[in-house]
Amino acid sequence: MFATLSDKLDLVFKKLRGQGVMTEDNVKDALREVRLALLEADVNFKVVKDFVEKVRTRAVGTEVLQSLAPGQQVIKIVHDELVLLMGGSEDNSLDLAAKPPVAIMLVGLQGAGKTTSCGKLAKYLKGQRKKPLLVPADVYRPAAIEQLKVLGRQLDIEVFNSLATQKPLDICREAHRYATLNGFDVIIYDTAGRHQIDDYLMEELEGIRDELAPREILFVADAMTGQEAVNVAQGFNDRLGITGVILTKLDGDAKGGAALSIKAVTGKPVKFVGLGEKLDALDVFHADRLVSRILG
Ligand code: GDP
């Protein structure tokens, strides 16, 4: 059986109850457990280091409450600080405040879940009484165009008839014209991915971004890739200026610490999480749910 962080901290503080204030020494062992728990949850080590310092400052000298075991007190501090790090009660909703059709661009590495997330997002927006148009703009992988068309049919949401022989920029221009003429509110662009960031892909995405002036550029990150997702997020943010993140595959084993690191490193919020392959498996992001998951 794996002990939860909460159990471990209770053990660390077993003798402390009713002893006045938490000292540097008492807190040291507890913070070691916190550090391990965060690293195990894929939080980037530098983020963990800064974070643990913050908790130390808050915890040392804190009065030990009679009503709460000291371990629980530290958990509460850790929980509150993690929620703050994730943006606390910041508004992470989609920004669609522009003249329709509002452009949303999904970017990320191949296999992260972009195409699936486009479908999920379209379904979510349809549920909000919007009229979304799905646009496949990944001409390098004709199967991706077909995949989006299949999703569109399942959702009864229109998919722009992109052709693999077209240039992505031409597809985007035509789709925009089509959406304007046909009264669509939102256009969701599924862009090309690669196995790793390369210059050619970034130039193409920059060109699309400059043409569309999207209200949202959402980076799709696979939670299962852990810390690597953070480096990739930083690469996309540096080149494109992402506006938010969709963290996919949180239905798997990943604790989701990558979300914390991405937010800490890029400053951009996680807006949605993917919780399965089905098209309704998309949730609006809640910082406290993710934090509870990380602290297990
Ligand atoms: P893309 O290459 O970025 O467009 O990725 P796809 O949308 O094709 O997704 C790659 C694989 O990940 C597919 O098998 C999807 O069904 C799967 N997938 C996407 N999102 C999720 C998710 O939230 N949970 C799970 N379990 N699988 C997902």
Contact 69, 13 (CB under 8 A): yes
ipTM of the complex: 0.99
State in Å: Cα 131 to ligand 1 middle. 24
pLDDT band of 17, cuts 50, 70, 90? low
pLDDT, tens digit, 9 for 90 and up, residues 224-252 = 988 888 899 999 999 999 999 999 999 98
Amino acid at 280: D
Atom of ligand 1 nearest to the CA of 273: 23
40: helix, strand or coil:
helix
Contact 188, 121 (CB under 8 A): yes
Instruction: Please work out whether the CB of residue 249 comes within 6 Å of at least one atom of ligand 1.
Output: yes
Sign of CA dihedral 247, 252, 253, 255: positive
Mean pLDDT, range 68-78, rounded to an integer: 79
Q: Looking at ligand 1, which residue's alpha carbon is closest to its atom 6?
A: 113
Say if residue 133's pLDDT is above 90: yes
pLDDT digits over 252-296, tens only? 888 888 888 999 899 999 999 999 999 999 999 999 888 888 887
Retrieve residue 295's tokens: 């602290």
CA of 211 to the centre of ligand 1 (A): 27
- pLDDT exceeds cutoff 80 at 66: no
State the average pLDDT over residues 80-106. 91
96: tokens are 């669609």
Q: Cα separation of 131 and 226, whole Å?
A: 34
Q: Whose CA is nearest to atom 13 of ligand 1?
A: 113
Model confidence over 155-182: pLDDT tens digits? 999 999 999 999 999 999 999 999 999 9
> 182-197: string of b/e by CB count within 10 Å (b at 16+)?
eebbbbbbbbbbeeeb
Residues 6+ apart with CB under 8 A from 1: none
